[in-house]
Amino acid sequence: MRRFLKSQKGRFSLRQSKSGTRSASKDFVLSMPLSNQGWPEEFGFRLGGSGPSYILSVEEGSSANMAGLQAGDQVLEIEGQDVSALNPQALAALAQKQKNVPPSIGVVSRIQQLDIPPGPDGRFGFTIVGDCPLLVEDCQPNSPAGRSGLRAGTLCWR
């Protein structure tokens, strides 16, 4: 599912699509920054990753929260420009230069919840590295994790 946050004269619209296009908009009053210099934090969210960039957290009640952005969303576009390979620092620098406040941002949710029971030996069969998000470094194919669909390279949010 792709979501886009756009500013339109005090109104933010959220357009969601899976295969077709559905549109939804909501009017609300928020205290908005006057410029993009504090993007993304001043708009209520934090970025992470090393390219691509992912939303790490979204502040409750923020413009990002009201638009439906969620932790784990991958950032694909800023003002229609493909940014899917940019790291958070490059992404923030680009967003802060945009004329529209806030800049239009396109994201896709890649979150899938897996419940992995331990094997008979009490192990799950994968190793993780890093820090929010965690990265699955290795996953044994015939382990409980492997049978649940977990793969090396997967990012874990919780």
pLDDT by 10s per residue, the chain, length 158: 455 555 444 434 444 444 444 444 444 445 667 778 888 988 899 998 888 899 988 999 888 888 888 888 999 999 999 999 999 999 999 999 999 888 888 898 877 788 899 999 999 999 998 876 788 899 999 999 999 989 888 878 66
* CA 112 to each of CA 6, 57, 119: distance values in angstroms, whole numbers, following the listed order: 26, 16, 21
pTM of the entire predicted model: 0.62
